């Protein structure tokens, strides 16, 4: 049986850097705000060992920064609730309903969606079969299980290059497999990669299949993207970093988005649905970093304050 909660002026969905920053600013603005997160707060910070590009911290672990952000939000009165959100939709009266697997339905005039995304799968045979038995999408989570092993990282962006470098702490050899002849990663990350003697780049290759035995992954079948030639690579671990899909599917009803499902917002982070704001990795933008996530969130939280003030001025209820 579902329960109805009407206590909040703002619901924030997602507890990563964007959500925590938005919660902190909303709390400072004395809004009645709840942040809904299905697990531990921190989002992708929990999958990153070291943060070295966040102002004020030359180097800080992802988990430590997540802890500090959580404490900061709570210090300003934000309430963090463990909830798995299934969907959010706007009613005809202008209020939103946020439906959770617990059966609780939150009624609120404003929502900030900061739910990030989920890792993109290769979609090749054996990937799902060996997930957790050699195939991983999180180096920090699983790297220590591959001490002394030969492993592969698939991808060519910042995440793939950064995690390949990190994984050399454990593996005896790391192959970086990229389907092109140049990387998309930032130059400073590439320089670190090229300087690491434990990393070998396999250019112009794509993974066709992952195979192994009951004990786990043993081999990748590769195809040359130029010649079509096939080859095998013996590895016991494969870390996939080829992007992720935005969790914009939580929104019921039409909203403006790009071809990949990333949400289009205005300069106030408001979506095409009035009262629904988006911040962080699921929004259309050039870069997706912790700094851009918290910048989005700052704007969104302040915009929510102004949105609610305008509603009050017009005599429109701000609570169900």
Q: Which residues are tagged catalytic? A: 138, 141-142
Residues 6 or more apart whose Cβ sits within 8 Å of residue 36: 11, 12, 13, 14, 15, 81, 82, 83, 85, 98, 100, 106
CB 177 within 8 A of CB 207: yes
Handedness of CA 309, 311, 316, 318 (dihedral sign): negative
Q: How far, in Å, CA of 75 to CA of 61, rounded?
A: 21
Could you give the C-alpha distances from 44 to 93, 183, 203, in angstroms and in order? 35, 22, 28
- Quick count: other Cβ atoms within 10 Å of Cβ 96? 20
Q: Residue 47 and residue 57: Cα distance in Å, rounded?
A: 18
Rounded to an integer, what distance in angstroms lies between the CA atom of residue 153 and that of residue 155? 7
Closest CA to 88 of 238, 290, 282, 289: 282
Q: Cα(20)–Cα(211) distance, rounded to whole angstroms?
A: 40
């Amino acid at each position: 049986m579902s329960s109805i909660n009407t206590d909040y002026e703002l619901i924030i969905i997602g507890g990563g850097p964007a959500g925590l920053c938005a919660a902190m600013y909303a709390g400072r603005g004395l809004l009645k705000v709840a942040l809904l997160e299905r697990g531990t707060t921190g989002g992708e910070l929990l999958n990153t060992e070291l943060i070295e590009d966040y102002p004020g911290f030359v180097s800080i672990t992802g988990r430590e920064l997540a802890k500090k952000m959580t404490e900061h939000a709570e210090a300003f009165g934000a309430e963090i609730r463990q909830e798995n959100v299934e969907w959010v939709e706007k009613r005809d009266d202008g209020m939103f309903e946020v439906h959770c697997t617990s059966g609780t339905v939150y009624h609120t005039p404003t929502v900030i969606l900061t739910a990030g995304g989920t890792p993109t799968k290769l979609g090749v045979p054996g990937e799902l079969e060996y997930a957790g038995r050699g195939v991983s999408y999180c180096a920090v989570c699983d790297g220590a299980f591959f001490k002394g092993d030969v492993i592969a990282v698939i991808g060519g962006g910042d995440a793939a290059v950064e995690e390949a470098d990190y994984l050399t702490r454990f593996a005896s050899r790391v192959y970086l497999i990229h389907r092109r002849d140049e990387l998309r990663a930032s130059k400073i990350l590439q320089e670190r990669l090229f300087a690491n003697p434990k990393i070998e780049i396999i250019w112009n290759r794509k993974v066709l299949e992952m195979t192994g035995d009951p004990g786990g992954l043993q081999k990748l079948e590769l195809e040359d993207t130029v010649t079509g030639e096939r080859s095998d690579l013996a590895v016991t671990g494969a870390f996939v970093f080829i992007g992720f899909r935005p969790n914009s599917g939580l929104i019921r009803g039409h909203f403006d988005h790009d071809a990949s499902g990333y949400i289009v917002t205005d300069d106030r982070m408001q979506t095409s649905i009035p009262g629904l704001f988006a911040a962080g990795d699921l929004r259309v933008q050039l870069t997706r970093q912790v700094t851009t996530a918290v910048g989005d969130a700052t704007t969104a939280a302040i915009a929510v304050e102004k949105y609610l003030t305008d509603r009050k001025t017009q005599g429109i209820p701000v609570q169900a």
